[in-house]
């Protein structure tokens, strides 16, 4: 039976440094991300290519209490480096399934399934929030933040029928990172036996990624 083959190796890292508190200010700096290598060459349904991806995101977080007000905020900058080589396929006459092919072998039946592609995505994010403790039971909270998300391998380079859905997928190499801006405001009551909250939330997303799919028959 035909099927995909994905050997995905992921290395994640997370470094944090908590600075000594200074006049009520608490700072934390850090760096986290991951490195991925995906091998898809042994599959018989090639939907995404073999690829390499490196993510890095340095950040800084700060918090401070001023009277009955707790303040916190942070900033972060993310970078993703993605690349894949061109990939050729041919039909195995013994099985009738696709297999990866060497374009330099002179095999005239080999066709290009994936173009070579590399791109660096980057963007900043951050948030600022406050909690006002009106009394022992009532708290007013407000927050504003900007988020970031880089395109995934399937969103940029997918090309083929997804074996789980039966839909043909086509990635878009011109995708840009997604960003969002959200604001929320809430009033929270914590009683002995009852908790109540009233919250308002707004979220606006730009460069939303929509995977191109269509039915296969």
pLDDT tens, position by position, 115-164: 999 999 999 999 999 999 999 999 999 999 999 999 999 899 988 776 66
Q: Averaged over 177-185, what is the pLDDT? A: 96
Question: What's the pLDDT score for residue 213?
Answer: 46
pLDDT tens, position by position, 44-79: 778 889 999 999 999 999 999 999 999 999 999 999
Q: Which residue has the tokens 């995905």?
A: 8
Annotate 62-113 with three-state secondary structure: EEEEECCEEEEEEEEEEEEEEEECCEEEEECCCCCCEEEECHHHCCCCCEEE
State phi, psi for 44 to the nearest 5 degrees: -115, 0
Lowest-confidence pick of 34-38, 116-120, 213-217: 213-217
pLDDT tens, position by position, 186-199: 999 999 999 999 99
Q: What is the DSSP track for 44-68? A: SS-SS--EEEEEEEEEEEEEEEETT
3-state secondary structure of 152: coil
pTM metric for this prediction: 0.83
Question: What's the pLDDT score for residue 7?
Answer: 85
């Amino acid at each position: 039976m035909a099927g995909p083959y994905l050997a995905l190796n992921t290395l994640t890292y997370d470094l944090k440094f908590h600075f000594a508190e200074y006049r009520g200010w608490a700072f934390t700096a850090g760096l986290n991300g991951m490195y991925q290598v995906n091998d898809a060459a042994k599959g018989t349904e090639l939907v995404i290519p073999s690829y390499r991806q490196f993510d890095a995101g340095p950040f800084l977080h700060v918090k401070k209490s001023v009277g009955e007000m707790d303040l916190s905020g942070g900033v972060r900058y993310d970078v993703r480096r993605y690349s894949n080589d061109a990939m050729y396929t041919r039909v195995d006459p013994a099985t009738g399934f696709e297999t990866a092919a060497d374009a330099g072998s002179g095999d005239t039946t080999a066709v290009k399934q994936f173009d070579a592609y590399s791109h660096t995505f980057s963007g900043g994010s951050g948030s600022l929030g406050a909690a006002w403790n009106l009394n022992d039971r009532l708290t007013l909270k407000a927050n504003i933040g900007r988020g970031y998300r880089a395109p995934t391998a399937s969103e940029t380079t997918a090309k083929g029928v997804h074996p789980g859905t039966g839909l043909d997928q086509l990635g878009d190499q011109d995708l840009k990172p997604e960003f969002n801006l959200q604001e929320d405001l809430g009033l929270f009551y914590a009683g002995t036996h009852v908790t109540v909250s009233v919250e308002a939330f707004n979220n606006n997303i730009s460069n939303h990624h929509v995977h191109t799919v269509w039915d296969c028959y």
